[in-house]
Chains A and B, each alone.
Chain A
Amino acid sequence: MNTVEVIKNWIDKGSEVLDLGCGDGEIMNILSKEWGSTVLGVEINQDDINKCIQSGLNVIHQNIDEGLGNFNDNSFDIVIMSQTIQVLKEPKKALQEVTRIGNESIVTIPNFGYWTTRINLLLSGKMPITGALPNSWHDTDNIHLCTIKDFENLCSECGINVREKCFFNKFGKESVLAKVAPNLFATTAMYKISK
């Protein structure tokens, strides 16, 4: 299964979904069309916002780093934050906010513990540049990268429960290796969490 299929597996049909950092609305589109979800996106990039609007998706122009206080406690069944937490100034606060707003949340992170990243750093002595992390250290939006272990530690530190997890290889698919030793062999990790 790929990430969107897993998300569908993890949420009920017809759920109310808030997608923080929704990009061009890819996930929202699938959930609203195939899963009967009511979706609302939050995005900061103007072109992405216009693509969402073009697709008839509801989207709010908002900078997550400036707070999410306009969303009430438990006001959505599901809050999705896919490949976004690593670009935020305060990932810990964002994680707490996500679990406050959603009854349940789905967070996807790029795994900095992936083996090629580790070897890359070990052998070159430079910040890794890989398929998943294509930009130089000074030129990347990814300012708060973490490993699978780091993320799970942060969750327990914040009193957040991990309900489900799923690990994907570089092709965006689940694999045996990624399942057996995720921190080494998963490029992406997805969690279903709640307070």
Chain B
Amino acid sequence: MSDSIGKVKAQKVTLEGKFELECGQSLNDIELVYETYGALNADATNAILICHALSGNHHAAGKYENEEKPGWWDSLIGPGKAVDTNKFFVVCPNNIGGCHGSLGPNSINHDTGDYYGPDFPIITVRDWVNSQAKLSDLLGIEKWHAVMGGSLGGMQALEWSYLFPKRIKKAAIIAAAPKLSAQNIAFNEVARQAILNDPDFEGGRYLDKSKYPKQGLKLARMVGHITYLSEEAMRSKFGRELKKEKLNFGYDAEFEIESYLRYQGDVFSESFDANTYLLMTKILDYFDPASNFEGKLVSAFQSIEAQLLVVSFSTDWRFAPERSKEIVNALIEAKKNVSYLEINSPHGHDSFLFANDDYVKGLSAFLEN
């Protein structure tokens, strides 16, 4: 039976020294917060790295003391689950630029004594993967049994496979794409504009002025949230249900979907940093491994040695199955070890968070074969 990992605690580590970034800038003594579940075996061959997506963090599974809500991938990580913590040592860091403990825009810049805010450099998926490799060194993990993630997390797993081919045995790339489409970037731009134009954004210096662009971040999240759900899921969950019995001919939240989105936006905007959100959308927009190879994904994949599993979901329209197939087809052409699963699921892009039976079976078969 699937069970919870139970109570968990976050840990911290410092990547000492200068860390060069793809943008040309550098950061010093980067602090990363992370969680681990399960136990590392004697020869350190059972470690799985979990990469989080846009709004995720290091709290992937289990619960904190005095908190009811489990980590974001608790449905898949735990004893007897798809990522079985009885067998694997699971590590999930909060990436650089995050806002839940790792060095990010809401950290103090020790050179100036102020918050980084808008001065925090633009990070890339490659920077993240490089920092995760340094974390691996500190944890004594020479080679990951697997690196995996959904959405932006899947992009990191993919990047690992060609950047450090000797350091990973498997990669699971879930609900991802080889690069963002114009439509994807368009949604990100709407989110950014919502934040940037909030009067309380203060050019990104809101923390210095004790303000917060809550409204902008809320709007950004509402737009994003729509793209995570499928039309089908929204219809079956909310339909045209009204909060009250009849229309009241006004602009308050009348339909259930309106109040749901507002609620989601409110909760999110209270627990996430606006500058981090801006940064995350940029990291997504910039990801394009083929761009260094004259647009040829096949060339970008030449160095891969790992066994790869690509997973997509039938109702995902943010990164639709066709986008995952672009990765798969390039891997086939590059003659790499790849398997592909297209899971029937009603939950849209968010499907990767749910313990769908076929998905769980496929993942655990892949991780344990």
* A interface list, Cβ under 8 A from B: 16, 38, 40, 46, 49-62, 70-72, 75
Contacts and interface: CB of A to CB of B under 8 A. Distances in A.
25 contacts: A16-B335, A38-B335, A40-B332, A46-B362, A49-B341, A50-B358, A50-B362, A50-B365, A53-B309, A53-B365, A53-B366, A54-B369, A55-B369, A56-B307, A58-B307, A58-B337, A58-B339, A60-B338, A62-B340, A70-B328, A70-B332, A71-B332, A72-B333, A75-B332, A75-B333
B329 interface: yes
A61 B342 CA distance: 6
Contacts of B325: 70
Contacts of A55: 369
A27 to B, nearest CB: 17
Contacts of B366: 53
B145 to A, nearest CB: 14
A24 to B, nearest CB: 12
Interface in B326-369: 328-329, 332-333, 335, 337-342, 358, 361-362, 365-366, 368-369
A50 B366 CA distance: 8
A58 B369 contact: no
Contact of B339 (A46, A53, A71): A53
A75 B329 CA distance: 12
B340 A60 contact: yes
A58 B341 CA distance: 11
Nearest to B342: A61
Contacts of A52: 339
Residue of A40, A46, A51, A59 with most chain B CB atoms under a 10 A cut-off: A46
Contacts of B361: 50
Contact of A56 (B329, B338, B369): B369
Contact of A53 (B329, B335, B362): B362
A60 B339 contact: yes
A160 B325 CA distance: 30
Nearest to A18: B332
Given A55-B369, A70-B329, 7 more contacts: A16-B335, A49-B362, A53-B362, A54-B365, A58-B307, A59-B339, A70-B332
Nearest to B309: A53
A46 B361 CA distance: 10
A71 B339 CA distance: 14
Contacts of B309: 53
Interface residues of B, number: 21
Interface in B283-301: none
Contacts of B307: 56, 58
Nearest to A75: B333
Contacts of A50: 358, 361-362, 365
A104 B307 CA distance: 27
Contacts of A72: 333
Contacts of B339: 49, 52-53, 57-60
A46 B369 contact: no
Contacts of B328: 60, 70
Nearest to B308: A58
Nearest to B344: A46
Interface string B305-326: 0010100000000000000010
Nearest to B329: A70
Report which residue of A16, A57, A70 has the largest number of chain B beta carbons within 10 angstroms of its beta carbon. A70
A82 B340 CA distance: 21
Contact of A60 (B332, B362, B369): B332
A12 B332 CA distance: 21
Nearest to B321: A61
B84 to A, nearest CB: 14
Contacts of A57: 339
- Between A38, A55, A57, A61, the greatest number of chain B beta carbons within 10 A of the residue's beta carbon is seen for A61
Contacts of A51: 365
A49 B335 CA distance: 19
A61 B332 contact: no
A96 B341 CA distance: 26
Contacts of B341: 46, 49, 53, 61
B358 A58 contact: no
Nearest to B312: A61
Contacts of B333: 72, 75
Contacts of B368: 54
Nearest to B366: A53
A53 B337 CA distance: 11
A46 B337 CA distance: 19
A119 B325 CA distance: 47
A40 B309 CA distance: 13
A79 B132 CA distance: 40
A54 B307 CA distance: 13
Nearest to A40: B332
Contacts of A75: 332-333
